[in-house]
Structure 1
């Protein structure tokens, strides 16, 4: 293994560690909420979550960590994986995603769903309970895909 490959492998590992940190904190916030609420949540559950400082903090943590995880993966981890694989990363992001799909790291359609949810979070959702409920429920559903992607990358660089 060349020196450059070792450097790229370390970069993947560093980005992967950051991704797992965000995922673990996201997962722990869900675990804390699930002691009281079953997902998917409904409007009644959401109203009691918002009325509780503790549970509201957990829901905010979920949204924040999901956003950080998606950013970490999309902005750093994916490119470092392709560099490790000896690929050129000076190309459009869609080409990067397609290359990751070829090596069985992601599903491009699922990634766009994750990215769209991240973009929805970036807009002001706090005044619309329905959107906020939808965001939390979708994060709950999509966190499995994020974990599988992190695990696939971890297996690649073993």
Structure 2
């Protein structure tokens, strides 16, 4: 493995580790909430959650970690995977996603839904309880999809040499 490929491999590994760290903390926050509330959260459960300081903190942590995870994956990890594979990343993000889809890592439409969810957090989370409840329920539902994407990228780094 050449020097460049080794550098790119280390970059993928570092980005993957950062992503897994965010996912682990996201899952931990959701698990803490699951000890008290059933998912999907009902309107009444969410009303109770926001009144309980510790539960609200876990809720905020889950939403924050989801945002950080989505940012890390979209801004760093995906490009580093393609660089490791010896590909050019100076292209539109949609082209990067399409290439990752052809590698069976991510589905383009699914990723755009995840990105839209992250954008919704940035705009509406603090101002609307119904939006916040829906966000938490959706994050709870898609966390396994995010883990699957990370696991697929991990296989590339562990199982294959770059093309």
**Into which bin does the TM-score normalised by the smaller protein fall?**
over 0.9
Gaps of 5+ in 1: none
Partner of 1:11: 11
Gaps of 5+ in 2: 159-163
The TM-score with structure 1 as length reference comes to 0.98
CA offset at residue 128 of structure 1? 1.5
Give the 4+ runs in structure 1 shifted more than 6 A.
Answer: none
Partner of 1:120: 120
Counterparts of residues 53-68 of structure 1 (less than 5 Å): 53-68=53-68
How many aligned residue pairs are there? 158
Alpha-carbon distance in structure 1 between the residues aligned to 2:76 and 2:67:
14
Counterparts of residues 117-156 of structure 1 (less than 5 Å): 117-156=117-156
Alpha-carbon distance in structure 2 between the residues aligned to 1:127 and 1:14:
35
Alpha-carbon distance in structure 2 between the residues aligned to 1:72 and 1:127:
25
Alpha-carbon distance in structure 1 between the residues aligned to 2:111 and 2:125:
21
The TM-score with structure 2 as length reference comes to 0.95
Alpha-carbon distance in structure 1 between the residues aligned to 2:125 and 2:73:
23
Partner of 1:104: 104
- Computed over aligned residues only, the root mean square deviation of the Cα atoms, in angstroms, reads 0.7
